[in-house]
């Protein structure tokens, strides 16, 4: 069993959504299906005072937010994240500065964020919602606002739960949230991303993912940004996204139910369950912590022998990747990255298949812990 498994709808479900784009011979560059998909995402998950821009990937989305805001120089980046977060900063011609995270939840603490902003003078910070687990970043947003910095929330694996329940209004015009639509994510379409941002940034972000061109506005006026990347979502990917949106609620409910089963199955094994708040995530994977890296390696080897792939998100920590500046030693992130493993979550496994997987996992954990 692979650690993550795409759940892409069959072609007969998404092909009808391509008809309008096909009829117009408009296959990318903000076509009709992409616009329709953005409207759907906004209806499902957006605040009234937000815009949604579909992108070719979450990485492109993160870069676009920096470019659209005219950010240069240092950008704060958590040490506990996937390497793509730092790559997005580099892709926007900025400099990643790695900062540590809370030792318990893996999130950059408000105190660490504030100190790093002061020390580096950064005008932008990216914070991660680990494993797509919804996080309240209101304090972080307030800190950034006071320092004149923008805040970008990297919530790559988190699309699919009600983000409006966390905060009744957006955090502020200086805050954007970016999601991944990669095939392995709960809301997977193949390759794609989505930015939720202040409406005033809509034109600048679209320009940033279209080489800096302004022609999509129809006005042709000179405006910033004057450069950008190729980060647009294709009409085919948008069509797949429309099909996914049809039953995303049911998919997430099944994933949350399996996460609940994981909590019950592993409660007495000696591992530490990373988070038990089921409604806060669509559960791409189920993260747990073992006492140390040697036990992680033992567990992974035993599970591999039973035919189950185990992955280690986010390992190595960015504090140990080299080639990037950092604030402090980032030991908390390193400790988490050495101890965390992620277990498979599916929306379509039978009760027997789930039970078999969990029994194998329990056996291997007890043998290692």
- For residue 116, the tally of other CB atoms under 10 A from its CB is 23
Q: To the nearest 10°, the Cα dihedral for 1, 193, 198, 127?
A: 50
List the end-to-end C-alpha distance of the chain, in Å, as a whole number.
23
Whether a cis peptide bond, with omega within 30° of 0, leads into 314 is yes
Q: Is 360 labeled as catalytic in the residue annotation?
A: no
**With contact defined as beta carbons under 8 Å apart, do 233 and 17 qualify?**
no
The one catalytic residue among 185, 232, 280, 302? 185
- For residue 83, the tally of other CB atoms under 10 A from its CB is 12
Classify strands 285-289 and 272-273 as parallel, antiparallel or unpaired: antiparallel
Residue 272's beta-bridge partner residues? 289
171 burial via Cβ count (<10 Å: 0-12, 13-18, 19+)? buried
Phi and psi torsions of 332, nearest 5°? -60, -45
Radius of gyration over every alpha carbon of the chain, rounded to an integer in angstroms: 21
How far is it, in rounded angstroms, from Cα 324 to Cα 349?
Answer: 41
**With contact defined as beta carbons under 8 Å apart, do 194 and 45 qualify?**
no
* Token output for 96: 């990643």
DSSP 8-state secondary structure symbol assigned to residue 16: G
244-254 burial, b if ≥16 CB within 10 A, otherwise e?
A: bbeebeebbeb
Distinct helix (H) and strand (E) counts, the chain: 13, 11
**Residue 357: closest CA among 312, 309, 301:** 309
What is the phi-psi region of residue 135: left when phi exceeds 0, alpha when psi lies from -120 to 50, beta otherwise? beta
**Residue 86: closest CA among 111, 116, 66, 104:** 66
Q: Which residues are catalytic?
A: 185
């Amino acid at each position: 069993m692979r650690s993550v498994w795409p759940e892409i709808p069959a072609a007969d479900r998404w092909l009808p959504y391509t008809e309008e784009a096909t009829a117009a011979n408009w296959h990318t560059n903000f076509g009709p299906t992409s616009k329709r998909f953005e409207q759907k995402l906004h209806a499902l998950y957006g605040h009234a005072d937000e815009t949604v821009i579909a992108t070719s990937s979450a990485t492109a989305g993160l870069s676009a937010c920096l470019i659209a805001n005219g950010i240069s120089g240092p950008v704060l980046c958590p040490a506990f994240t996937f390497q793509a977060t730092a790559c997005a900063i580099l892709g926007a011609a900025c400099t990643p500065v790695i900062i540590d995270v809370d030792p318990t939840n893996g999130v950059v603490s408000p105190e660490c964020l504030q100190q790093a902003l002061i020390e580096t003078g950064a005008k932008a910070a990216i914070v991660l919602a680990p494993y797509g687990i919804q996080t309240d970043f209101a304090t972080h947003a307030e800190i950034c606002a006071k320092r004149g910095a923008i805040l970008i929330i990297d919530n790559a694996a988190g699309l699919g739960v009600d983000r409006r329940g966390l905060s009744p209004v957006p955090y502020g015009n200086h805050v954007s949230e970016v999601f991944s639509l990669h095939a392995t994510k709960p809301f997977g379409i193949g390759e794609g991303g989505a930015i939720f941002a202040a409406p005033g940034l809509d034109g600048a972000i679209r320009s940033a993912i279209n080489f800096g061109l302004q022609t999509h506005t129809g006005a042709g006026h000179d405006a910033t940004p004057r450069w950008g990347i190729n980060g647009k979502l294709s009409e085919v990917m948008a069509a797949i996204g429309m099909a996914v949106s049809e039953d995303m609620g049911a998919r997430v409910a099944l994933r949350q139910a399996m996460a609940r089963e994981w909590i019950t199955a592993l409660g007495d094994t000696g591992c530490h369950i990373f988070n038990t708040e089921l409604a806060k995530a669509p559960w791409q994977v189920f993260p747990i912590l073992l006492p140390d890296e040697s036990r992680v390696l033992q567990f992974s080897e035993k599970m591999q022998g039973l035919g189950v792939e185990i992955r280690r998100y986010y390992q190595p920590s960015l504090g140990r990747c080299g080639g990037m500046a950092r604030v402090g030693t980032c030991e908390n992130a390193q400790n988490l990255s050495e101890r965390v493993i992620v277990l498979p979550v599916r929306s379509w496994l039978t009760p027997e298949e789930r039970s078999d997987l969990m029994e194998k996992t329990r056996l291997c954990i007890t043998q290692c812990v």
